[in-house]
Amino acid sequence: MQVEFKGLQPYAPTYEAMQALVARRAEFLSQFKEENGSSPAENLRDALWICEHSPVFTQGLAGKAEHVIAAGDIPVVQTNRGGQVTYHGPGQVVAYPMIDLKARGYFVKEYVHRLEEATIRTLAHFGLTGHRVRGAPGIYVRLDEPASHARLLDADGMPLSESELPALMDIGKIAALGIKVSRHITYHGLALNVAMDLSPYERINPCGYAGLRTVDMAFCGVNASWDDVAKVLASKLVVHLE
């Protein structure tokens, strides 16, 4: 996988560049198969872009206008990824894997699990415990004890699910996930909050959940640079997406 650290980038041109790269790759694979009767024996064009964005709200395909409460001076960009509205801004590591799922031999559900696992392992590297919530892609932490390994359970002792994400829950979202798959090739990806201005999240219902707290690693007591977290996340993604 070719890893590129792109630094601070405006969102819209990055989105367009992802679409163009994926389209070119899909066309190459299609033409190769037509000419040779099979796909390439080696997967040489998988890419991983690591960047951060200037302030922007992005809406997924399921995004509802009412989840943007007051965008103000921050632009809202409609995208073709899954999910609802989220925020990108400086101090957040954004990872865009563009890989051929068919060549790697797994499906979308497992791909999402691998993205989440790489994020959980990255947080563990810095002493935090990331948690999944069933039906709500992304990674969450306990607000009172971010290093706690205790499972997130509902009142009945079952794993916490999407339907039980009220504002009163003592958890916060630290990483968001939204993907698109076109002709087996992935794009968009995940965003891990490192040390950022979290106030724009108050202008939206993050990922469509009214009142859901959004936190970053700094809030959880981690003093780490963007570069350090970006390098760890990239290395975990390379390992877990194999």
Contact between residue 8 and residue 52 where contact means Cβ atoms under 8 Å apart = yes
Give yes or no for a contact between 11 and 88, defined as CB atoms under 8 angstroms apart. yes
CB atoms within 10 A of CB 137: 21
Residues 94 and 237: beta-carbon distance below 8 Å = no
User: Which residue numbers are catalytic?
Assistant: 207
Sheet hosting strand 56-59, strand order edge to edge: 76-78, 56-59, 86-88
Burial class (CB in 10 A: 0-12, 13-18, 19+), 135: exposed
Phi, psi (5° rounding) for residue 176?
-110, 155
- List, as one string, the DSSP characters of 202-221: GGB-GGG-TT-EE--TTTTT
217, 229 contact by CB (below 8 A): yes
Q: What's the CA angle centered on 108, arms 212 and 96, to 5 degrees?
A: 65
For residues 124 and 121, give the distance between their C-alpha atoms in angstroms, rounded to a whole number.
5
Q: Do 112 and 178 form a contact (C-beta atoms < 8 A)?
A: no
123/21 Cα distance (integer angstroms): 30
